[in-house]
Structure 1
Amino acid sequence: MSFNTSVPLANHFLDIPAQVLNTRYALFFLVNIPILVVVFNILRQMVSIGLPQDRSKPPVVFHWFPFIGSSVQYGSDPLTFLFACQEKYGDVFTFILLGRRVTVALGAKGNNFVLGGKSTVFNAEDAYKHMTSPVFGDDVVYAVPNQQFMEQKKFIKIGLSTESFRTYVGMFEDEVETYLNNEPIFKSYQDPKGAGEWGSFDPCQVIAEITILTASRTLQGKQIRAALDKSFAELLADLDGGFTPMNFFFPNLPLEHYRRRDRAHKKISDFYIDIVKQRKAKGENHELDMINALSGQVYRSGKPMSDSEIAHCMIALLMAGQHTSASTGAWAVLRLAENPDFTEKIYQEQVKFFGAPNGQLRPMTYEEARELPLMNALIRETLRLHPPIHTIMRHVREDVPVPPSLAAPSKDGVYVVPKGDYVLASPTVSHTDPRVWRSAMKFDPYRWIDPEGMAAQALETYVDEHGEKIDYGFGAVSKGTESPYQPFGAGRHRCVGEQFAYLQVGTVLATLVKELEFRLPQPFPANNYYTMIPTPQAPRNVEYRRRRRN
């Protein structure tokens, strides 16, 4: 239809059927309303810059889309995003994350502000309970009041004794050697006469499997280790499939992987509860494992720990420890493959400490496993560049002023983080801050051997063996919130399994180095931030061959 310009335009609209006209209006609004929303959002940000009531709040990162905010930039590469914002806005700023206002506090002082704050003000339960409860359970960790969680950590710590650790080292070694001798990908490349052909493996897959085997053999106990068949592994995979960053925002969507998560949680929970009940009925408490350590524990209120709480603590230990140790171990193997000269020095360190006349290496003891300088340097440098948690959030329950030492006061006084916002600290940023670390992004394990260097100072502040300890309810620990190095968190939510993780990862890596040589056939992989714990992007295969024996 062509318009006759000599006839009023309105007459032509009268000729258009109402259905067609409505469709055109609908299309008009469908196309233009999002544009208007974006334009309004931009104008609102530009106008609000000069408003007096906003000057007391930290600067807000510019964003095109309301609600979405900076979610894409933060989610795809948080380190690049945070450093870019730091350069533009300073150490304190706010960004929009799927409708949430998140105020970031960077550097060691920022870590101290967020992680050293009062739990009644900067609350972890509000931030994480909707994410962890479907996986761990609704009566443990962040699903319960902080005081109860601290007591649960105390009960867990009872099972992480030095006596237990002394028995674990041999179990770790045995599990790794058994895995290498029986797993097809390694078994096919054995050559007892010398160095065999080069094989290849995915370090994320292999270290994840070794981590679950070593953890179940030690912390979880013989019964759990014996139950690790294909069906149990599939249940763990289903449970793990529901533990993703999306849980933080949408924990209960009607999706199949959420339904598999819930079914797996129920079956694994029932499995642990049955074991607890069987042991109680038979009076069995001789096993040196975590179930027996938790059984019979009583809260300060006089309430005994329930069978469900014991089962869910076991799930939390299994899942949380699995992610962090597996990630650290995989990154460390990639670093070993990238630096074969350093790997050879780690091997020679073992020869020096554990060498025997027949050319074999004798088993390590617990005390010896803790005193390998190069191995410890490898783990610490891996954790510096690849910490398991890149950012940590808390929900703000009341208005909180930002200390002037962290952010210079605005014209109207100090910045204030308002009630209802979230606050965020980033160990990854403080670990790689070029203002603190020499060659911050370079893998340099030797920095941890220099007793006068920045790494030694950061570690001393974090560990603070001889300084003041704080008891948050699970035993006296170093606060560690003022250190630029925080691989296991800090303050009241510092990881209770820190020492176990160091021992597990260290022994696993030492055993792998004792048995294998590594090389990296492709460039070192970048981070994949779409997983719960940052993992290496593909391609990430490591090539290996059996070590020569004299």
Structure 2
Amino acid sequence: MEFISPTVIIILGCVAVLFFLQWKNLRRPPCIRGWIPWIGAGFEFGKTPLEFIEKARIKYGPVFTVIVMGTRMTFVTEEEGINVFLKSKEINFELAVQNPVYHTASIAKNIFLKLHEKLYITVKGKMGIFNLYKFTGQLTEELQEQLQNLGTHGTTDLNKFMRHLLYPVTVNILFKKGLFPTDERKIREFHQHFQAYDEGFEYGSQLPECLLRNWSKSKKWLLALFEKNIPDIKTHKSAKENYPTVMQAVLDLLEMEANEQKSPNYGLLLLWASLSNTVPVAFWTFAFVLSHPNIHRTIMEGISSVFGTAGKDKIKVSEDDLKKLPLIKWCILETIRLRAPGVIARKVLKPVKILDYTVPSGDLLMLSPFWLHRNPKYFPEPDLFKPERWKEANLEKHAFLDCFMAFGSGKYQCPGRWLALLEIQICIILIFYYYDCSLLDPLPKQYPHVMKYTTWSYSSGRQEESEIIQRALPVRWSGTYIWP
């Protein structure tokens, strides 16, 4: 009788295992690995992410994997993977964002996982739909205070225009009145550091700080700002209102959880989530409205019918006033649809099936609102700015159009979405009420290769913009309004 030697058995076993693994891998989505270990396709992907995604989608189909900085990202670019992304219990939001949270705000992973749900509920409660009435008067007053600095006419870059209006308003309302500086030098310093932090956020979320000297410097400056002001924020009491600010509610929770030492870090996280989203949406909304004369005229007529002609008295904006001007909210939501983030992410806990592929555990599952919002099945004439399509949404019951994903989805949708919409609505009303505005350059087109990218946002979907485009879009304003 002949016997097979143990060595041959081992070799045959190894070959069998290799064939099995190869067969198993064939069931995974197509993978773009790049040429450099760990970095993978990071350089090519980082230069033009949405263009990269589009080319990969054409070549490999609606589901494919990209290796970037040691991370496997499996993209779902069309409706085939939506149900898995939205409904599967095998994918997780918190585990997808814990690393970026650690890199960008220096919040340890264990602390983030322990506190995230409680903090989310706290922030959502403070900025939820049923508490918006508490902010309407504050927003109107703060915006009018900032508008006083404009004078009666001027010309500037629209992005700068929006930053100078909304930075102080947002900071003073979410943290405490007077936190935003009033000294010109300190204002410039704040703008410089926040913009540096914001523009480098994508890289900071994935790369070591030692490789990002300027970004790290601005991050430390912002953390020091909160470290200095946290005691005042905790004890601040509004002269007119007796309820705490959003940041005060966060501080109360951190104190109960014995994590007060992380207060500046969560302050930085809240600051970035609010400013980096609201400003670009306001920018693009104004740009779209001013580029469509019929829409602009209809909005101006609506504002005049509700508030009359601009005079020497400041106006008050109420919830009833906002309900009479639905076109403004439609314009904001249509802008968000067209300027949605490139992707939002979840982490795969256990293998999930999408089409004929199995996405392995450990992958980041990436859904692309950018492409989803351009699917004519859900949004007819998807590349056109058509705010009237939002007439079909049940906004009175706080529901958006089907497959609108800009605020994320599921359990952890953006907790500040309703407050952000309210702030931009009031901003539009006040500027158009007091001033005649016009763009000096035509509205630039948006192309995938100029869009920035992030794998994570605390608000589940950051509104991205191209700084290059925005600097090229000046706006002129003029008005006969004389401030008292």
TM over 0.5: yes
SS of the aligned residue for 1:437 comes to: coil
Residue 268 of structure 1 pairs with residue 235 of structure 2: no
What's the offset of the Cα at 1:357?
10
Alignment-derived partner of residue 472 in structure 2:
540
1:131 to 95, 100, 113: 100
Residue type matched to 1:211 in 2? L
What's the offset of the Cα at 1:291?
3.7
1:486 to 401, 405, 409: 405
The question of whether the paired residues in 1 share the 8 Å contact of 2:104 and 2:205 is answered with no
Residue 433 of structure 1 pairs with residue 367 of structure 2: no
**Matched positions, count:** 445
Sequence identity percentage? 19
Alignment-derived partner of residue 33 in structure 1:
none
Residue 395 of structure 1 pairs with residue 347 of structure 2: yes
What's the offset of the Cα at 1:360?
8.3
What's the offset of the Cα at 1:341?
2.7
- CA deviations on 1:93-143 (whole Å, 9 max, x unpaired) are 11232343211112345344224443xx4344444333333543416xx76
The question of whether the paired residues in 2 share the 8 Å contact of 1:175 and 1:210 is answered with no
Residue type matched to 1:84 in 2? K
What's the offset of the Cα at 1:248?
3.0
What's the offset of the Cα at 1:484?
1.5
Question: Following the alignment from structure 2 to structure 1, what is the Cα–Cα distance between the partners of residues 131 and 65?
Answer: 45
Alignment-derived partner of residue 9 in structure 2:
none
- CA deviations on 1:285-311 (whole Å, 9 max, x unpaired) are 945422443354489xxx446433444
Alignment-derived partner of residue 267 in structure 2:
314
Residue type matched to 2:284 in 1? W
Q: Which has the larger radius of gyration?
A: 1
Question: Following the alignment from structure 1 to structure 2, what is the Cα–Cα distance between the partners of residues 138 and 92?
Answer: 33
Question: Following the alignment from structure 2 to structure 1, what is the Cα–Cα distance between the partners of residues 73 and 128?
Answer: 38
Q: After the TM superposition, which of the residue ranges 490-499 and 390-399 deviates more from structure 2?
A: 390-399
What's the offset of the Cα at 1:358?
7.1
Question: Following the alignment from structure 1 to structure 2, what is the Cα–Cα distance between the partners of residues 430 and 447?
Answer: 16
Alignment-derived partner of residue 3 in structure 2:
none
Alignment-derived partner of residue 457 in structure 2:
none
Question: Following the alignment from structure 2 to structure 1, what is the Cα–Cα distance between the partners of residues 284 and 302?
Answer: 21
Question: Following the alignment from structure 1 to structure 2, what is the Cα–Cα distance between the partners of residues 116 and 517?
Answer: 45
Once the two structures are superposed, the pairs formed by residues 244-393 of structure 1 within 5 Å of their partners are 244-276=201-233, 278=235, 286=242, 288-297=244-253, 303-304=256-257, 306-355=259-308, 362-387=315-340, 389-393=341-345
Alignment-derived partner of residue 37 in structure 1:
none
Alignment-derived partner of residue 511 in structure 1:
430
The question of whether the paired residues in 2 share the 8 Å contact of 1:165 and 1:500 is answered with yes
Alignment-derived partner of residue 219 in structure 1:
174
SS of the aligned residue for 1:201 comes to: strand
Residue 92 of structure 1 pairs with residue 92 of structure 2: no
SS of the aligned residue for 2:346 comes to: strand
The question of whether the paired residues in 2 share the 8 Å contact of 1:395 and 1:421 is answered with yes
SS of the aligned residue for 2:27 comes to: coil
Alignment-derived partner of residue 451 in structure 2:
529
TM-score between both structures, scaled by the size of structure 2: 0.79
> Would the alpha carbon gap of residues 80 and 367 (structure 1) be closer, same or farther in structure 2, given more than 3 Å must change?
farther
Residue type matched to 1:516 in 2? D
What's the offset of the Cα at 1:324?
0.4
Question: Following the alignment from structure 1 to structure 2, what is the Cα–Cα distance between the partners of residues 375 and 95?
Answer: 39
What's the offset of the Cα at 1:383?
0.4
Question: Following the alignment from structure 1 to structure 2, what is the Cα–Cα distance between the partners of residues 506 and 254?
Answer: 40
The question of whether the paired residues in 2 share the 8 Å contact of 1:103 and 1:422 is answered with yes
The question of whether the paired residues in 1 share the 8 Å contact of 2:307 and 2:315 is answered with yes
| Greater helix proportion | 2
Question: Following the alignment from structure 1 to structure 2, what is the Cα–Cα distance between the partners of residues 65 and 79?
Answer: 21
Alignment-derived partner of residue 58 in structure 1:
29
Question: Following the alignment from structure 2 to structure 1, what is the Cα–Cα distance between the partners of residues 408 and 252?
Answer: 29
What's the offset of the Cα at 1:320?
0.7
TM-score between both structures, scaled by the size of structure 1: 0.71
Unaligned 5+ segments in structure 2 are 1-18, 455-462
2:138 to 165, 171, 174: 171
Once the two structures are superposed, the pairs formed by residues 157-236 of structure 1 within 5 Å of their partners are 157-160=124-127, 165-183=132-150, 187=151, 190=153, 199-225=154-180, 230-231=185-186, 234-235=189-190
What's the offset of the Cα at 1:77?
3.5
Question: Following the alignment from structure 1 to structure 2, what is the Cα–Cα distance between the partners of residues 179 and 499?
Answer: 22
Question: Following the alignment from structure 1 to structure 2, what is the Cα–Cα distance between the partners of residues 291 and 66?
Answer: 42
Q: After the TM superposition, which of the residue ranges 356-365 and 163-172 deviates more from structure 2?
A: 356-365
What's the offset of the Cα at 1:228?
7.4
Residue type matched to 2:208 in 1? P
The question of whether the paired residues in 1 share the 8 Å contact of 2:98 and 2:112 is answered with no
Question: Following the alignment from structure 2 to structure 1, what is the Cα–Cα distance between the partners of residues 426 and 310?
Answer: 22
> Would the alpha carbon gap of residues 161 and 422 (structure 1) be closer, same or farther in structure 2, given more than 3 Å must change?
closer
Question: Following the alignment from structure 2 to structure 1, what is the Cα–Cα distance between the partners of residues 174 and 227?
Answer: 19
The question of whether the paired residues in 1 share the 8 Å contact of 2:129 and 2:418 is answered with no
Unaligned 5+ segments in structure 1 are 1-47, 191-198, 410-414, 467-477
